[in-house]
């Protein structure tokens, strides 16, 4: 007796294995693109790292370019979630402006530590004019500026931050923070005192804020 036919899957509801494989491929691709760049990353190596055949990449993303764009879209979705659930409540809270700025900076430091590959990918693509950079700017960098620049402007108008172009400040402060965190282990070899993360943040905020809380 032949087994009964399986129930058809509802449209629009991907199988859990499809979701799992997609997320694993995105994680492997983020690491590969951040470490090797777009040209240097191998689809076959990405698939093997995620535990799949390369055909799974084409199943989910269609092409290498599609995979790269999906990685950026995933980064953008993570930012939007952080903006909505963490940053906006801090920026619009009832605390003094110095405390709100410090808490927002703390969130970004935590994100930079948690996912250094995101920063590496951005830094790789920024010097390279073209469609990928345009895509990255439109999907991630512009929304980041739109979400944070008004807050930096508020802090400048309150006298907490020195007046400057708020977009330049936004790009500069997080680039500086990423670089400091990347150099954290070698700072003593460059002449800095031994510092843990809390001390590094305290020094950074002290130099940044006119009147830190």
User: DSSP string covering 78-99, please?
Assistant: HHHHHIIIIIHHHHTSSS-HHH
Q: Where in the chain are all domains bearing CATH 1.10.10.60?
A: 15-62
Query: Which residues of the chain does CATH 1.10.357 include?
Result: 67-208
Residue range 1-46, pLDDT digits in tens = 444 443 344 444 344 477 899 999 999 999 999 999 999 999 999 9
- What does the angle CA 24 – CA 29 – CA 34 come to, to the nearest 5 degrees? 135
CATH number of 15-62: 1.10.10.60
pLDDT over 50 (residue 144): yes
pLDDT digits (tens, 9 = 90+) for 178-202: 988 889 899 999 999 999 989 988 8
Q: What's the pTM?
A: 0.86
Quick one: pLDDT at residue 77? 97
Question: At the topology level of CATH, where does 67-208 sit?
Answer: Tetracycline Repressor; domain 2 (1.10.357)
Look at residues 200, 179, 34, 202 and name the one whose alpha carbon lies nearest to residue 112.
Answer: 179
Query: What are the CA-CA distances from residue 78 to residues 71, 73, 113, 196, 213 (Å)?
Result: 11, 9, 15, 27, 29
Helices and strands per DSSP (H, E), number in the chain: 11, 0
> 35-79: per-residue pLDDT in tens?
999 999 999 999 999 999 999 999 999 999 999 999 999 999 999
Cα–Cα nearest to 111, from 69, 151, 78: 78
């Amino acid at each position: 007796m032949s087994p009964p036919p399986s129930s058809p899957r509802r449209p629009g509801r991907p199988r859990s294995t499809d979701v799992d494989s997609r997320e694993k491929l995105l994680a492997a691709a983020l690491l590969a693109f951040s470490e090797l760049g777009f040209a240097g990353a191998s689809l076959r190596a990405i698939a093997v790292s995620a535990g799949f055949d390369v055909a799974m990449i084409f199943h989910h993303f269609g092409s290498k370019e599609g995979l790269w764009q999906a990685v950026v879209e995933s980064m953008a979705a993570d930012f939007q979630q952080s903006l909505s659930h963490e940053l906006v409540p801090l920026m619009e809270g009832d605390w003094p402006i110095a405390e709100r700025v410090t808490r927002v900076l703390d969130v970004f430091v935590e994100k930079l530590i948690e996912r250094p590959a995101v920063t590496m990918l951005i830094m790789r693509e920024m010097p390279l004019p073209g469609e990928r950079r345009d895509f990255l700017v439109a999907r991630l960098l512009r929304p980041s500026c739109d979400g944070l620049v008004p807050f930096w402007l508020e802090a400048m108008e309150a006298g907490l931050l020195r007046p400057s172009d708020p977009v330049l400040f936004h790009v500069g402060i997080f680039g500086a923070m990423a670089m400091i965190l990347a150099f954290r282990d070698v700072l003593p070899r460059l002449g800095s005192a031994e510092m843990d993360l809390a001390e590094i943040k305290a020094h950074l905020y002290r130099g940044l804020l006119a009147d830190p809380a």
